[in-house]
Structure 1
């Protein structure tokens, strides 16, 4: 008789295990695949592309859609000034260039920034195979573009 009672218990335990795995998969944070801890943009001069430092970690390969928006400071706050979008595949051995700059970050768009203050805001919608989409956001520091000093100007 004990065999007849244990089969339903095994079935229930099996379904609970499947449910637990499904809940765990659904709740895995985006950082299980991708994490961005720093986006820093250096001050620059009009006509020069600002240099950057970014610290990101790719833990698992994935495909993502991304949006980079460069916000410019106006009289009432920051407003979108330059936008670039795209899609990429990211692999754990991918690295950023040694001389990272804003043109690389916003490729294929080149943001021509006049004198002012700016902030770069980046959003990745990652689509890991077999999992629900996840989102990662990173904002840079506020940086300044100074006017270009013309030769002979005092």
Structure 2
């Protein structure tokens, strides 16, 4: 029977792998669409009309999902003081969680307002644009809490 730390390690490994594949897939898609658009525009003298809208949509998803796994900036001079290290990490985690919650809530409200608007060339609901912040915000929040609980002070898992 696997120990609790083995199960936690497996969950972390699987989630990190899924996150990396998703972010890499988004980056690869954006790169391929951009290259195809440049070749079509300058090589074939014909534009791919939906490329700019799709790239913008994928880029938003890439930014929000990519931020979920990033180590974020901090001022080491203050944050590394022995007596203040843990309390400052908790305050920073709670502040980040509050900011992410506000972003996700605002995106949820905007997605309801704009759900019937559609992208001109993609014929997709603009709900997808705001869903990136809702879904990505949830992933970001879970990743932040996970790091603080299982890797306090250690940053993102490698």
Tell me the TM-score normalized by structure 1. 0.26
Q: Could you say which structure has the greater relative contact order, defined with CA pairs below 8 angstroms and 6 or more residues apart?
A: 1
Whichever of the two has the greater Rg, that structure is: 1
**Structure with the bigger percentage of strand:** 1
**Structure with the bigger percentage of helix:** 2
Tell me the TM-score normalized by structure 2. 0.26
